[in-house]
Structure 1
Amino acid sequence: MSGIYIHVPFCKQACSYCDFYFVTRPQQKGNYVEALIQEIQSKKGSVFTQEAVNTLYFGGGTPSLLEASEVSRIMDALASTFKLRTEEVTFELNPDDVTAEYLADLKKVGVNRVSMGVQSFDANLLQFMNRTHTAEEALRCMHLLKDSGIDVYSVDLIYGNPGQTVEMLEADLEQLKQFDPPHISAYSLTIEPNTRLGKQVALGRLLPQEDEQVEKHFELVEKALSEMGIHRYEVSNFGKKGSEARHNSNYWEHENYLGLGPGAHSFWWDTDGRSAKRWSNEADLKKYLEQDFKTRPVDGEEMNLKELAEERIMLGLRTIKGVQLEELIVHYEYSLSEAQSQYLERMQKEGKAVLGKNIRLTSKGLRIADAITLDLLTVK
């Protein structure tokens, strides 16, 4: 098994852009930990415990709202249930939760990679995003991370915000340069319908950033990070050699993974390798706390080889490695049609794709990866 994802649903407040499942009821943390441990233990003797677990990922929500002692209890439950062979244990945190002692405690329980949600060092942008931390807290946390002794840390950055200028983004990138982080996740702001930003756009109170400006931001991020020796390996992820996120890479490569906690998603291949199932826990903390995990059936979406092949192409074309043609034939029994081959040849002539044993997109192509994938899978 490639990994286990644990969803920690607690947040102090709602970020204006976020559509992940979260609650602002921290008084339920203790009950959540008890329920999570029960869910973990319910997997004993199941198919999910027959494969070694290579990566763990604590996401959210805000995992850093958990006490270190609570994280330790969760880790103990995982170790007593699964075959842990963890090369990477990632823990998401917010700058306003971090102390040197907390980082040291995380390291003691096995965390060797942390992902910090900075998003920006600009006070106005942080307020616009409704983040709980200040720029000063983010800078303080960067110093703590650099001195923590944790193997790898990653910093989240959001660009393409309404009103964000190229100069504002340059200032954020210059701040990051001072710390020389090993990994950066840089996301173009996506405005989802059910978020605060989505509602403001629907009411006409907010105008999204112009596409041309977002493209300038994309180019600036790639150029600036490349100059720091931090190279793109997926549309939104940049890392120094050896610092790439193994857990996320396994998502893109269609490895088995198990999601635990309310709202967590899972993906699992059937034993014959000809189909797979994708499912998720209900995004409802109250129901999660009342759940009898031993009797809960695993209901989900059954995916056939054609559906899996198309998803593999979609995931793979977001990465620098792309997708191997042989892999599609051998593992998915999927061959490109004449129309698809001709479309890719056109993309190559336009400087958006490179064809060979792999199909992969260039930097120019990665900017519109989703559009290229849609065209490729629907071309007649």
Structure 2
Amino acid sequence: MSGLYLHIPFCKQACSYCDFYFVTRQEYKQDFVDELIREIQSRKDSRFTIDPIQTIYFGGGTPSLLTPSQVEAIMTAIDEVFDLQAEEITLEMNPDDVTREFLSGVKSAGVNRASMGVQSFDTDLLNFMHRAHNSEEALRCLELLQSSDFNVFTVDLIYGNPGQSLDLLEKDIDTILQFDPPHISAYSLTVEPQTRLGKQVKLGRIIPPEDDTVALHFDLVINKLEEAGIMQYEVSNYAKLGKEAVHNSNYWSHVNYLGLGPGAHSFWWDEDLSSAQRWSNKPDLRSYLKSDWEQPFEAEFLDIHDLAEERLMLGLRTRTGVSIDELKNRYQYSFNPDQLQHLKHLEYDEKAILNENIQLTKKGLKIADAILLDILTK
């Protein structure tokens, strides 16, 4: 099985923290859809159509700026080119775009999972993030989602914001839980250098919270969601049993995926499974509309050692961890004595569990990036 990622590059405005490729001019939307369909059709009878498609993800940007008929046209093109056996088709949405008619339209087009970018309900925080929606729109769209035919949806939340208190975060979590979401993605605010936020931090106009404060936010998110039966299954992702995101889980398991649209990334194993390639389309809409997707913008060859370290890194961010046998048999990777000693220390410190799998505990997932760096540099 494999997955498709479709990058829809349009946004109403630039969020202060976002470093994904986007444009704020809307007049090329139909031209983009036409070009995306041409890119989809170009893959017909290629190596990318051998595997059945298990998941499709409309990301961005803001995919909810497309009309349901545009989404349907894209889905029709996919169905004509690929062996579509999709278990999960996700479309990212912003609250200010959502109406009952929109939800019904994209559901009829084949979308069966909605990803709602709420981030917060607090007016000051939404203004700080430079979000296009307000608190009332977020509440209204969640009411619409809860009463719609979407029985699987996810809500995004951002914590670790400057000036965000634990009380304010708890209020956001409690508000989300009123709508009984099957899945929540909760991200710690990340300062990327080229973003508006990154430039403000560099100039000293904004001071990010201390690590200890962010850690308290992380603990609050885990504990509040766990009490509601929404369990952490990856560092930033929480779900009720059986409602975990299939598409993202496949990323972490090294399943093939093909990215379409400007700035989209792809990952594909070579036929003998001894290496893989990762590449992207150029993040430029004007170039994309001239069919520049015919040549990869950035291509990276990954040998089996690169893949092993990446699989370890991705797997240890999840609650299930990574199988020692899988590392050995599929990736030809074994831990050296220093790594084994370090893993034993992690187990002693109750940060990891060692059996057939290597798993980080709740305590370990809290500092997963630091643990991974320590393991890989031993």
Where do 5+ consecutive residues of structure 2 fail to align?
none
5 Å-filtered alignment, 1:207-356, equals: 207-291=207-291, 293=293, 296=295, 300-356=299-355
The residue that corresponds to 2:39 in the other structure is 39
1:298 deviation in Å? 8.1
SS of 1:332's partner is coil
- What's the Cα RMSD here? 1.0
The residue that corresponds to 1:374 in the other structure is 373
5 Å-filtered alignment, 1:133-148, equals: 133-148=133-148
The residue that corresponds to 1:158 in the other structure is 158
Aligned residues: 378
Kindly tell me: are residues 87 and 207 of structure 1, through their superposed partners in 2, closer, same or farther at Cα, counting changes over 3 Å? same
1:152-198 CA deviation, whole Å, 9 max, x = no partner?
A: 00000000000000010011011012111100000000010011110
Q: Which amino acid aligns with 1:356?
A: N
**1:101 aligned to 2:101?**
yes
1:311-367 CA deviation, whole Å, 9 max, x = no partner?
A: 000000100000000000110000111110000100111111111110110111111
Alpha-carbon separation, structure 2, partners of 1:299 and 1:252 = 21
Contact 2:53 2:83 in 1 (8 A): yes
Identity percentage of aligned residues: 60
Alpha-carbon separation, structure 2, partners of 1:255 and 1:64 = 26
The residue that corresponds to 1:70 in the other structure is 70
**1:170 aligned to 2:170?**
yes
1:296 deviation in Å? 3.1
Kindly tell me: are residues 298 and 202 of structure 1, through their superposed partners in 2, closer, same or farther at Cα, counting changes over 3 Å? closer
Alpha-carbon separation, structure 1, partners of 2:132 and 2:25 = 15
Alpha-carbon separation, structure 1, partners of 2:148 and 2:296 = 42
The residue that corresponds to 2:7 in the other structure is 7
**1:363 aligned to 2:362?**
yes
Alpha-carbon separation, structure 1, partners of 2:117 and 2:372 = 29
Where do 5+ consecutive residues of structure 1 fail to align?
none
1:200-257 CA deviation, whole Å, 9 max, x = no partner?
A: 1100111001111100000000000001110000000000011100000000000000
Alpha-carbon separation, structure 1, partners of 2:25 and 2:297 = 28
Q: Which amino acid aligns with 2:137?
A: E
Alpha-carbon separation, structure 1, partners of 2:232 and 2:57 = 21
1:47-71 CA deviation, whole Å, 9 max, x = no partner?
A: 0011100000000000000011100
Contact 2:282 2:297 in 1 (8 A): no
SS of 2:330's partner is helix
Contact 2:279 2:296 in 1 (8 A): no
Contact 2:281 2:296 in 1 (8 A): no
Q: Which amino acid aligns with 1:328?
A: L
The residue that corresponds to 1:116 in the other structure is 116
Contact 2:281 2:297 in 1 (8 A): no
The residue that corresponds to 2:24 in the other structure is 24
Alpha-carbon separation, structure 1, partners of 2:121 and 2:103 = 21
Alpha-carbon separation, structure 1, partners of 2:173 and 2:75 = 35
Kindly tell me: are residues 197 and 292 of structure 1, through their superposed partners in 2, closer, same or farther at Cα, counting changes over 3 Å? closer
The residue that corresponds to 1:89 in the other structure is 89
Q: TM-score, normalized by length of structure 2?
A: 0.99
SS of 1:371's partner is helix
User: Runs in 1 of length 4+ with deviation above 4 angstroms?
Assistant: none
SS of 2:48's partner is helix
1:17 deviation in Å? 0.4
Q: Which amino acid aligns with 1:91?
A: L
SS of 2:14's partner is coil
Q: Which amino acid aligns with 2:138?
A: A
1:373 deviation in Å? 0.5
Alpha-carbon separation, structure 1, partners of 2:320 and 2:109 = 33
1:7 deviation in Å? 0.3
1:151 deviation in Å? 2.5
